[in-house]
Structure 1
Amino acid sequence: MNVPVLPDSKKRKYYILVRLLNGEHLSYQHLADNYFVSRSSIANDIVFIKQLLAKDNVALVFDNSGTYIGGGEIDKQKVLKRLVMGLVRQDKTNPELLQLFISQTLLSTVKETFDQKIQAWSLEIPENYLWDIIVSASIVIYRGRQGYFIQQAANNQLGKLLFQLEKYPLVYELLESLEKKKVYHFSQDELRYLSYIILGNGFKFFMKDATIPIIFKRKVKLLIRNISDSLNLDLTQDSRLETDLLVHLYQMVLRLRSGTTVINPLLDEIKANYLELFGVIWYALSEFGSENQLVISDDEVAFVTLHFQAAIERLKNVKRILFVCPNGIGTSSLIAAKMRQILPEVSIIEIVARTDLAKKNLRNIDLIISTTPLTGMPVPVTNISPMLTPTDMKKIMNQYIDLTMSHVKTPIITDDNREQTLVLLKHHIYFDNVKDFNQALDLLIRANTWATDSAMQKYRHSIEQREKLQSTYLGNGFAIPHGDPHLVDHSCIAVLILDKPIKWGNNKVDVVSLLMVREEDKKIVESFMNLIMHGINNKDWFISKMMEVK
C-alpha cells in the first residue's frame, strides 16, 4: 500500500493507523520525520489511535523498536470492522479515508453476492446483522489478499461447546458463493471464523432446526431473575424477553468465542436515553462474562439493554387494578367480570374487601375502583355504583386512558437502596494520588473489614483475575473493579478520586470505585451504578456528590 507522504492533520492519524495495522513498529521521531510535523502532533495522533483500539480491548504496545499493535490478526480485524462501519455510516462524501482500510469495489461485490443468496433463501435478516456479516467477510478477503491471515488457536473449544457446523450447510454455502465467483478462496481457519460470525449474527435464521443447550437456557433465566431483582421489577414472566434474549445471548457467545463482536451504531444514544438501565445491565453482564470466560463489549451491553427496555415497556402497559367492594364475593365477581369486558387484556384486576384494604400493599397498584368512597389513597380512585352502570363504565375507561397516557416512569432504583448505598460509602471516599492499579487496589481494599489477611488476598486475587479477563473500565475515566461476591463477609464500597489519571488496561482512569459487596446485597450495587452512570455524564457532579457523602 502506497502511503501518501504528507496527508493533512485530520487524515494523518488514519495513515499512521494503516501502517500499524500492517505490522509496522513506529517511533514518534520516525513518524515526525516522515510527516514533517512535531513529536507533539504525533503524540496527539497516537492518543486518538489508542482510544480507538481500546474500544475493542486491543493494546498499543511500546518497546525499543517503537510503537505497534499487540494481539493477532483477529484483533486487528475487529478494529478494522469498527473503523469501516463508522466511516461508511458517517462520511460517505470522503471515500479516500475508507479506501485506506477496504476496497469499496470488494464491499459492493460481497454485498451483492450475499444479498442474492439471502433473497433466494427468503431469509429476513435485520439489516445491521447482515451488514456486519458483509463487512467482516470483506475485511477477511481484503487482508488475506495482502498476506494477513486469520489463525485460530488449535485448542478453540467452540465447536465442541456448541454444535457441529457441518450440519448446517447454509452457512458454508453463503461463503462458498464468493469462492464460486472467484472472489477469494478461504482457508479452513477463515471459513471457521466467518461461520461463527454469520451464526453470531443470524443463528435463528441460518440454523432454524438447531437447539440451544438446556444449561445455557438456565443461565439466561438466572440472568433475567438477577436483573429483575436489581430493577425491583418482575420480568421473569415475560416469555418474549426470555425467547429474544436466549437467541441474542447465544449469538453473542458465538461472536465472542470467535474473538469478534458486533458494532452497535446506537451505542451513544442508548447510553444517553437509558442511563440507569445500561449501568444495571453492564454490571450483570460483567458477572455473566466472568462466569463464562467472555469479554463483553459496551456494544453488546447496549443491545441487551434494548431487550430489557422493551420488556419494561411491556410491563408498564400491564395495569394492575384493585377493585374494592363491601358486598359478597358473588356481586364482586360479577362486577369484575363486566370490567374485564371493557378493559384491555393487559389489565390485571384483583378483588379485595373494604375491611382488608388497609393491610394491602398498594405499591404495584395503578388504579383503585371502589363502590364506596375512599380518601387518602396513594393511587387514583374511581368511584362507581354497586350495579356498574354505563356511566360507571365510561368513568373507568376515562381513568384508564388517563393512566395509560401519563407515561409515569417506573423507578429503577428505590430511595431505600440509594440511602443504603450512601451509608456504605461514608468514610470510604478518598481524594489521593497513586502510581498504578496495584496501589489503588491496596488503598481501597483495606476500607473493608476482613476476617483474615488471607481472606482479603483471596478477594484481591479474584479482582485481578476479572481484570485479566476484561477491564472494568466503564468510560470517561471511571473504573469499577469488583471480585467474587462469595468471598466478601461485609459489604463495602470504596471510591478513590485521583488528581492524576493512572493506566487501567488500555485506558486511563481518575475515578476508581471498588465494589466489595455480598451476593445478598447486590441491589445496593445497582443503586451505586446509577450514581456512576450519572457521573460518567457529569464528573464534576459525581465528585461533588462524593464530597458531600465523605
Structure 2
Amino acid sequence: PEPEISQLALLFMGKGSGNYYKADTIPVNGKEISLEDLTTAMLEEVRKLYGVDLTTDSKLQEGLSLHLRGLLQRLRDRTQVDNVYLEELRWRFPLIYDMGVTASRKLHEILGIQLDPNEIGFLALHLGAAYTIHRKPSKYRAVVVFPSDQALATVVIEKIRRQFQDRMDVVAVLDAYEKKRVEDLNPDLILTTLPLDHGLNVPTVQLSVFYSQENESQIFQQLNRLDKNRQKDIFQHRIRELIKPEYFLETLDASDSEDVIRKMCQPLVKAGCIPPEYADAVLEREGYAPTSFAAGFALPHALNVTIRESAISVAHLDHPLQWGDHSVDFVLLLAIREEDRELLGIFFDWWIQIISDPLRFGLLKEKNGYAAFVQAILEEK
C-alpha cells in the first residue's frame, strides 16, 4: 500500500525525514500528542528501571518516533504484523525485551493502548540496538610486551588500540618482560610477540610480529572469556544471597500461573524482601507479555515496585501448567531492587548460558533439593 511505501521511505531517510513530517504531533483520542514527549517518556521509564540512559540518543528518538507513527496507523487499521525476531529476543535477550515491555507499559499509561508481544518486540529491537552501543562496561587493562623494532611495534599497538578501544586500555608497552613491573601494573591481559612462561594468573595472548587477523580473533575471544569470568564471579558471589533455602520450593501445588506467583511471593513477603502488593505488580507485568518459555520455565517479575531486599524465589511445580503459550513446570520469580539493577543483566546473561546447556538445565529442573540446585547453577560446563 502507498502509505506503507511512504513510511518505508521515511525510515530510509532517517534524520532527514523530519523535513517531510506534516507535524511533530499525532492525534490520539481527540488531542494532539507530541512524538518527542512520548518517546522521551518511554526512554525515561527505561532509565529509571534499568539504569540505562538512552534519553540523549537523537538517532533512537528519531527511529522510535517514525516507528510510533507506523505503529499507531497499524492499530487504527487493525493490522497485525508478525515479528520474526520475537522468540529470539525473548529467549536470548530477555533484558532487552523487558525494556520493550517497559516502553509499551508507558505507552499504555499515556495513550491507553495495549500492544501485543510482536509490537513490543519491535520496540525492543530499537532499544536493543541503542543499548548495545551505549553499554560501556569497565575496560580491561592490557600490557604489551613487544621486544622488536620500535617503529613496527608502534604500528601494531596503535592498530590494537583502535580495534579494541571500547573494551581495553593498553596501560603499558614493555620491550622486555619484567615480572615486578607487570605485577605493579595489575593487568587483566598480557599481549606479547614472544612465548612467555611468567607464572602470573593473567591470561596471555601471543601475537605475530606483523599482527594478523588470527591475532585479532584471539584477542577478541580472550576479552569475551574475561567478560564471562567477570559475570561469573559476581553471579557466584551473589547467588547464595539471592536464593536462600526458605525461598526454594522443591514442590509447589498450584492451580494456575496466578496461584504460582502468589504462593512464591509469600516467603519473600514474610522475610520482608518485597511489599504485599508485589504479586499484583508481577501479574500486571504478565498482562503485557507472559514470561514463560518453550523450554518449560518462567521468569516472572514486576516493574517499578519498591523492593527492600533483592531475592529470587525458585519453585518446582507438582504438575505442568499452561502459562501463556507454553507449558511450565519450573519457575524463578525475580525481585531485584533498584540499587542492584545491574544484577538483572548479569543474571539474564548467566541464565542464558545455563539454559543453553541441556545437561545443566536438566540438573536444575530435577527435584533434588536446595543444595543440588545451587551446585547445578554454579557448576562450570
Instruction: Tell me, yes or no, whether TM beats 0.5.
Output: yes
Of 166, 191, 196, 1:368 maps to 191
The alignment status of 1:544 with 2:361, answered yes or no, reads no
TM superposition shift of 1:371: 10
Provide structure 1 residue ranges, at least 5 long, that are not aligned to the other structure.
1-109, 127-152, 164-210, 228-235, 327-331, 384-394
Kindly report which structure 2 residues correspond to 1:131-530, keeping only aligned pairs within 5 A, or say none: 155=29, 159-162=32-35, 226=52, 245-254=60-69, 259=75, 262-267=81-86, 270=88, 276=92, 278-291=93-106, 293=108, 295=115, 297=117, 299-300=121-122, 303=125, 307=129, 311=133, 321-323=142-144, 337-339=154-156, 345-348=162-165, 350-352=170-172, 357-363=182-188, 365=189, 367-369=190-192, 375-377=198-200, 378-380=202-204, 395-398=208-211, 401-406=213-218, 408=221, 409=224, 411=227, 414-419=231-236, 420-421=238-239, 423-427=241-245, 428-430=247-249, 431-448=251-268, 450=270, 456-484=275-303, 486-504=305-323, 509-529=328-348, 530=350
Q: Aligned-pair distance for 1:443?
A: 1.8
Q: Shift of residue 438 of structure 1?
A: 3.9
Cα drift, residue 456 of structure 1: 2.7
| C-alpha separation in 2, matches of 1:487 and 1:324 | 50
State the aligned residue count: 323
What is the aligned-residue RMSD (CA, Å)?
A: 5.1
The residue aligned with 2:24 is: none
CA change 1:296–1:254 in 2 (3 A) is: farther
Listed one character per residue, the Cα deviations across residues 86-112 of structure 1 (whole Å, up to 9, x for unaligned) are xxxxxxxxxxxxxxxxxxxxxxxx4xx
CA distance in 2, matches of 1:339, 1:466: 51
Q: Assess if the C-alpha contact under 8 Å between 1:450 and 1:489 holds in 2.
A: no
Larger RCO, structure (CA 8 Å, separation 6 or more):
2
**1:301 & 1:540 partners in 2: Cα distance?**
33
Going from structure 1 to structure 2, the CA distance change for 1:512 and 1:460 (only over 3 Å counts) comes to same
Question: Which amino acid in structure 1 is aligned with residue 365 of structure 2?
Answer: I
Q: CA deviation at 1:536?
A: 8.5
Distance 1:124 1:369, change over 3 A: farther
Deviation at 1:517, TM superposition (A): 1.6
SS in 2 for 1:448: helix
Paired AA for residue 234 in structure 2:
N
- Provide the C-alpha distance between the structure 2 equivalents of 1:405 and 1:452, rounded to a whole number of angstroms: 48
When you count strand as a share of all residues, which structure comes out higher? 2
* Preserved contact between residue 494 and residue 515 of structure 1 (Cα < 8 Å): yes
Larger Rg: 1
The residue identity in structure 2 corresponding to 1:421 is: I
- CA separation of 1:357 and 1:460: change in aligned 2, threshold 3 A: same
Question: One-letter code of the match for 2:97?
Answer: W
**Counterpart residue type for residue 155 of structure 1:** N
Identity %: 17
Q: Relative to 1, partners in 2 of residues 1:520 and 1:305: Cα closer, same or farther, differing over 3 Å? A: same
Task: Tell me the amino acid that sits aligned with residue 502 of structure 1.
Answer: L
AA partner of residue 322 (structure 1): V
Q: 1:371 to 1:435 in 2, by over 3 A?
A: closer
The Cα shift of 1:442 comes to 2.9
Q: Find the aligned partners of 1:521 and 1:308 in 2 and give their Cα distance.
A: 22
Tell me if structure 2 keeps the 8 A contact 1:220–1:246: no
SS of 2:318's equivalent?
strand
Structure 2: unaligned runs, 5 residues or longer: 13-26, 109-113, 375-381
Q: CA 1:122–1:456 in structure 2 vs 1: closer, same or farther (change >3 Å)? A: closer
Cα drift, residue 458 of structure 1 = 2.8
> Structure 1 residue 300: deviation in Å?
2.9
Structure 1 residues 426-452: Cα deviation after superposition (integer angstroms, max 9, x where no partner): 423322221134432232112225576
Corresponding residue number in structure 2 for 1:89 = none
Contact kept? 1:483, 1:516, Cα under 8 Å: yes
In the TM superposition, residue 496 of structure 1 has moved relative to its aligned partner by 2.1
1:425 touches 1:494 (CA, 8 Å); kept in 2? yes
Q: Secondary structure at the match of 2:341?
A: helix
Which AA in structure 2 matches 1:346? Q
SS in structure 1 of the partner of residue 275 of structure 2: helix
- Kindly indicate whether the alpha-carbon contact (under 8 Å) linking 1:382 and 1:396 is maintained by their aligned counterparts in 2: no
CA-to-aligned-CA distance 1:355-390 (integer Å, 9 cap, x gap): 653244533x4x53599977135233669xxxxxxx
Pairwise CA distance, 1:219? 6.0
Please state whether the residue corresponding to 1:440 is helix, strand or coil.
helix
| d(CA) in 2 for partners of 1:521, 1:124 | 40
> What SS is found at the alignment partner of 1:404?
helix
Q: What TM-score results when the alignment is normalised by the length of structure 2? A: 0.61
Matches of 2:10 and 2:100, distance apart in 1: 28
- In structure 2, the CA distance between the partners of 1:468 and 1:549, relative to structure 1 (3 Å rule), is same
CA distance in 2, matches of 1:475, 1:252: 29
**Residue-by-residue CA offset, 1:29-83 (whole Å, 9 max, x unaligned):** xxxxxxxxxxxxxxxxxxxxxxxxxxxxxxxxxxxxxxxxxxxxxxxxxxxxxxx
Once the two structures are superposed, the pairs formed by residues 23-172 of structure 1 within 5 Å of their partners are 110=1, 123=9, 155=29, 159-162=32-35
Q: For residue 333 of structure 2, give the secondary structure of its aligned residue in structure 1.
A: strand
- Whichever residue aligns with residue 281 of structure 1, its letter is I
Distance across 1 between alignment mates of 2:346 and 2:187: 23
